[in-house]
Amino acid sequence: MSTGNTYDVVIIGSGLGGLCSAVILSKEGLKVCVLEKNRQLGGSLQIFSRDKVIFDTGIHYIGGLDEGQNLNRYFKYLGLMDKLRLKKLDEDGFDKISFYNDEQIYSHAQGYDNFIRVLAEKFPGEEKNIKRYCEKILEICSFFPLYNLEDGQKDLFTANFLEMDTKAFLKTVTSNEKLQNVLAGSNPLYAGEADKTPLYVHALVVNTYIESSYRCIDGGAQIAKHLSDTIKKQGGEIYNYSEARHFHFSGDQIKAVQLSDGRLIEGKKFISNCDLAKTLDMIGPGHIRQAYRSRISNLENSISAFILYIVLKKGSVPYFNHNLYHYDTDDVWDTLNYTEQNWPRGFALFSQYSSRNPDNADSMIMMGYMNYKDLEQWSETVHIIPNMENFRGAGYEEFKERKAQQMFDALYKRMPELKGKVESYYTSTPLTYRDYIGSRDGTLYGIAKDYRDPLKTFISPKTKVPNLFLTGQNLNLHGVLGVTVSSVVTCSELLGQQYLIKKIKDNS
């Protein structure tokens, strides 16, 4: 059943990458259509509410939003900057890092001079090394032109840092092991792995937050709302409950995508914002070489997480304007290696900022790494409210409750003052993320980059099908900035990079 429309561009998935691409292309007069399998748009920008409290699912804070900074300029072009409701995190400590055996709390401050000053207070004698670290971060970022809203390409592929491991690099910065760990303390922002995560991933992520750090007031879904309003205003169409299943071809080109309810959506070009392997499944056999399919399908994803969503008793906990990364080990890189007994070996704790109750924390979100394989026995179950409400079983509920209690034990050990202040709590697992986002394994950030073979994990927006393109966190980099840049990379394939960058610069 065809809808009778032929779109210039059909975008599959309404994650940040899909929505930004749709804004850019519809602004240029192209007729776009966004297809989203869920009710709520936004992918990881989605929020949910329990006991009248809003929880973010995948955006806890955003960097680079001060005037003149990279994301600020991209967001101005996308029409977001004057609409977003934001709360700047503490200048002298947007991230706080702590360890089980150390009473000190180490702060990451905003602004490079401030970052150096605040850390040097805790590590007297290390100021020079911290400065050298910052210089390297800035040098690496300068190699990525689009990250800095510049056209052109530096000779990235010969850059020596591409094949540098983050943990190994930090050892060259200082012999002070605590400082090495503090510098890597926000490691859950990029699911960093020892002897794997390239230094450029660490650099691009930490730089954006050191530049400036903001929380979305009442959650990050506002980004999806404003982007989708703009798409519609520019003549684009967005359909939720529209799950893409497979492509129909005419010769070597895709002519339509078939949805799970049988509808056929025709287009001249297609952009997939979905899991890479699942995108290839939609192509079906015969249209791409097996070698390409195997290369993409065999790329490893970054780890997933178990998340505890805590509703606090009204007025019992003051709002805290920073994020906490706490470690139950001396080595922040070791938190991925856990056993049933010692899990979680570290956690990230975020407070939500609510406009209704700005002085108090209504809620907190606590995140600990978890492997998909821990949930394998329930992998055949699917649960997406409200269209697929399958009960995963009592065993799954018991597992979640056990993990929630382990989380609370870790939380109370670090912050005993929170005892008695929890009203209620909810949890999500890697299966929740798998089902809502449509990845294979609930991955936090998509394809895990690897310094040992950097080119293998660089995903091009072009595919072996001439009119199929990719966007989203699997390209370049994850996160709000990374994905926004990815959508520019993707749209550059359709509009021309020089042309698009000029437009963005002129409008930011």
Ligand X SMILES: Cc1cc2nc3c(=O)[nH]c(=O)nc-3n(C[C@H](O)[C@H](O)[C@H](O)COP(=O)(O)OP(=O)(O)OC[C@H]3O[C@@H](n4cnc5c(N)ncnc54)[C@H](O)[C@@H]3O)c2cc1C
* Of 24-32, 33-41, 97-105, 336-344: span binding ligand X (CB under 6 A): 33-41
Type of residue at 207: N
Does 483 bind ligand X (CB under 6 A)? Our answer is yes
The secondary element (H helix, E strand) that includes residue 43 is none
Q: Contact with ligand X (CB under 6 A): which of 9, 10, 11, 16? A: 16
Does 344 bind ligand X (CB under 6 A)? Our answer is no
- Complex with ligand X: residue 14 or 427, whichever CB lies closer: 14
- Complex with ligand X: residue 260 or 498, whichever CB lies closer: 260
Q: For residues 465 and 270, what is the distance between their CA atoms, to the nearest angstrom?
A: 10
The 60-89 site mask, x for binding ligand X (CB under 6 A), equals xxx---------------------------
Does 38 bind ligand X (CB under 6 A)? Our answer is yes
- Inter-residue contact 352 to 361 (CB < 8 Å): yes
The 265-284 site mask, x for binding ligand X (CB under 6 A), equals --------xx----------
Does 12 bind ligand X (CB under 6 A)? Our answer is yes
Does 301 bind ligand X (CB under 6 A)? Our answer is no
- Inter-residue contact 416 to 277 (CB < 8 Å): no
- Inter-residue contact 390 to 381 (CB < 8 Å): yes
Q: Contact with ligand X (CB under 6 A): which of 9, 17, 190, 327? A: 17
- Closest approach, Cβ 444 to ligand X, in A, equals 4
Does 431 bind ligand X (CB under 6 A)? Our answer is no
* Of 25-33, 293-301, 333-341, 430-438: span binding ligand X (CB under 6 A): 430-438
Does 24 bind ligand X (CB under 6 A)? Our answer is no
Residues 6+ apart with CB under 8 A from 461: 469, 470, 471, 475, 486, 489, 490, 492, 493
- Can you name the residues that pair with 216 across neighbouring β-strands? 86
- Closest approach, Cβ 376 to ligand X, in A, equals 20
- Complex with ligand X: residue 181 or 186, whichever CB lies closer: 186
Q: For residues 477 and 113, what is the distance between their CA atoms, to the nearest angstrom?
A: 26
Within 313-454, strands assigned E span 323-327, 346-351, 363-370, 383-384, 388-389, 422-428
HEC per residue, 311-336: EECCCCCECCCCEEEEECCCCHHHCC
Helices (H) and strands (E) in the chain, counts: 14, 21
Q: Contact with ligand X (CB under 6 A): which of 59, 162, 191, 227? A: 59
In the complex, which residue's CB is closest to ligand X? 15
- Inter-residue contact 467 to 266 (CB < 8 Å): no
Does 480 bind ligand X (CB under 6 A)? Our answer is yes
Residues that bind ligand X (CB under 6 A): 12-18, 35-38, 43-45, 58-62, 243-244, 273-274, 305, 433, 437-438, 444-445, 472-473, 478-480, 483
